[in-house]
Amino acid sequence: MLSGWQLKVSKFFIIPQRVILAIFGFLAILNAYTMRICLSIAITEMVNKTTSVEEDEGVCPIEDNANMEDYTGGEFNWDQELQGVILSSFYWGYVITHLPGGILAEKFGGKWTLSLGILSTAFFTLITPWAVGIGGSTALIIIRVLMGLGEGTTFPALSALLASWIPLKERSKLGSLVFGGGQVGTILGNLISGYLLHSFDGWSSVFYFFGGLGVVWFILFTLLCYSDPQSHPFISDKEKDFLQKELGALTRDKTLPPTPWRYILTSVPMIALVCAQIGHDWGFFIMVTDLPKYMSDVLRFSIKDNGLYSSLPYLVMWIVSLSTGVLSDWLISSGKMTITFGRKLFTTIASAGPAFFIVGASYAGCDRALVVALFTIAMGLMGTFYPGMKVNPLDLSPNYAGSLMAVTNGIGAITGIIAPYVVGIMTPNHSLEEWRIVFWISFAVFHVTNLAYVMWASGEVQPWNTPHLMNKSVESGDVNQDTFSEKEAPAAIKASH
């Protein structure tokens, strides 16, 4: 029961605490993405583009009424390959801290693992202009690696928090809300960056603005959010009772055995999930990291228009992710589809749709309106990844969701290292023909990885979610690990607590 002061404070919160946590989780990813991708717009103004303005073979013509100052860029003579290295360097650090982040979140709770990671990223974002002024591209690469180290804990920590707070019947809806922060962060990162670069001299304002927002988020989050319902000082008794009933416990099970890595890494549904993550991240990171460059170098949008049109696809993606999250919860809770079928269906839509429309955009030539429309449809359809494979770690193992997210997101993030560098190597002349090959490669990656997911994915809680309760024959490897049914899942989760 709440004490006197806690009861008074709880009455100020009309919104349930699990929803407040989801909102701040959404804002965490939003801030993470704005700090991550603002360089993708800023670099178009940091790099000198005089040569590309003069040599326009294979790219679209600049409009007659355009202001030529919008196309000259900045003071750094970085070639396409070096730009690819700079844009990919964030993910060098990002991959490293995924696994430690998941383990720390499961052991100590997700609150501080998440918040300190975002705070460190905000700090390095704020000092980016100073570092580049001193050390140029080398300093920028180092700063981006350090930013990645801080941000690598974000998704594992959030998965641990969601597993502690969000019941099954709200998982697609609130999970899509939280993970949809990536789209909104991309929207705001592109849109606001374009506005700041257009309105202020130089490019440093972008990093000061988004780094400052990250610090503000850290202060509010640490005051209002907690790792689990039991440790929350002013959650209502009504919500506690509801979560007790739905989740089986209000605290993390500190008696759980160490993470059962052997079972996780050899689990067929887990391997399928990793494949789907690779497909999603390959397409998503190419679009997030390099779409502004495509808009600038090939379509020749001005910096202000670049920010606007680069953000539009992610607005549609966000709307789709939220709406299909609600749809997925309804279809599953009403018994119209199983969790497994739902995850496979929405993941397939998110793979096949973008694959076709991204390639189609490369054949639309210099029809700017059609290209933007095709990219927008492609990224909109990608929004169904979130009620699909993105919440799948919570299905497979609520107890070890942080570690599962660390593995899947960490391996997927390796594509963030490879994809921008590949784009830089393959588009030395930033021509339409070169970019078309890039999009055909994405087409193949989408389809191959989705095929693996459709064949082997599962929405059922796996036996290794409760390794201390597993049958000895399973432990010895004599029986298939993947034997829990969806009907047995809630009972297994409660037993683990």
- The CATH number of the domain holding residue 232 is 1.20.1250.20
**Residue 33, token pair as written in the block:** 């993405």
Which among 330, 16, 20 has a CA at the least distance from the CA of 170?
330
Is 430 part of a structural domain of the chain?
A: yes
Is 75 part of a structural domain of the chain?
A: yes
pLDDT of residue 254: 63
Q: Say if residue 313 is in the same domain as residue 434.
A: yes
Is 465 part of a structural domain of the chain?
A: no
**Residue 96, token pair as written in the block:** 């490293």
CB atoms within 10 A of CB 61: 9
pLDDT of residue 480: 47
Q: Say if residue 344 is in the same domain as residue 447.
A: yes
Q: Say if residue 218 is in the same domain as residue 324.
A: no
Q: Say if residue 75 is in the same domain as residue 206.
A: yes
Is 496 part of a structural domain of the chain?
A: no
pLDDT lower than 70: segments of the chain: 1-13, 49-59, 62-74, 249-256, 302-304, 306, 468-497
Q: Say if residue 223 is in the same domain as residue 323.
A: no
The owner of tokens 């990219």 is: 375
Q: Say if residue 113 is in the same domain as residue 215.
A: yes
Q: 3-state DSSP call for residue 280?
A: helix
Q: Say if residue 142 is in the same domain as residue 198.
A: yes
Q: Say if residue 227 is in the same domain as residue 267.
A: no
Domain that holds residue 332: 260-459
What sign for the dihedral angle of Cα 432, 434, 438, 444? positive
How far apart CA 144 and CA 460 sit, in angstroms, is: 38
Q: Say if residue 289 is in the same domain as residue 332.
A: yes
**Of the candidates 203, 237, 271, which is a domain's last residue?**
237
* Residue pair 227/158 in contact by the 8 Å Cβ criterion: no
**Of the candidates 205, 237, 269, which is a domain's last residue?**
237
Describe the chain by its helix, strand, coil percentages, rounded to 5: 75, 0, 25
Number of domains in the chain: 2
* Residue pair 182/29 in contact by the 8 Å Cβ criterion: yes
Q: 3-state DSSP call for residue 363?
A: coil
Is 210 part of a structural domain of the chain?
A: yes
Is 329 part of a structural domain of the chain?
A: yes
Q: Say if residue 205 is in the same domain as residue 321.
A: no
* Residue pair 171/394 in contact by the 8 Å Cβ criterion: yes
Q: Which amino acid is at 413?
A: A
pLDDT of residue 53: 43
Beta bridge partners of 76: 47
Q: Say if residue 202 is in the same domain as residue 330.
A: no
**Of the candidates 202, 237, 272, which is a domain's last residue?**
237
Is 166 part of a structural domain of the chain?
A: yes
Is 325 part of a structural domain of the chain?
A: yes
Phi, psi of 482 (to 5 degrees): -90, 65
Q: Say if residue 105 is in the same domain as residue 177.
A: yes
